[in-house]
Structure 1
Amino acid sequence: MLSTVAFEILDGRITTIRGVTDPDELEHIGPLADAFAVQRKAFATRRSPEGAGPG
């Protein structure tokens, strides 16, 4: 997990959207991902030659 998004709904309408990315506030929910590793992998995948496997 990298982040969460919470929606507050009143009378069937979204009234507030909250995003939480602070690891200290998320660790009680479950295991956290290494955001930098995820970013590096995504960047490497986009930059790899077409047809090449993930690296």
Structure 2
Amino acid sequence: MTSPSPDYYAVLQVPRGASQQEVARAYRALMRGGRADPGPETDMSVIGEPQP
């Protein structure tokens, strides 16, 4: 027996009628909450983001 999947709208705290942009914004905000804010001296290529 498989367990039911979580309600992703509830996890992201967005209404079911939310636009794709609202869902993406909530997802990014949730992901930012769990990691340290990288400063300007941080090598962003280490975490997979291109440097400017």
Query: More helix per residue: 1 or 2?
Result: 2
Query: More strand per residue: 1 or 2?
Result: 1
Choose between structure 1 and 2 for higher RCO, CA contacts under 8 A separated by at least 6 residues. 1
Structure 1 length normalisation: TM-score?
0.29
Structure 2 length normalisation: TM-score?
0.30
The structure whose Rg is larger is 1
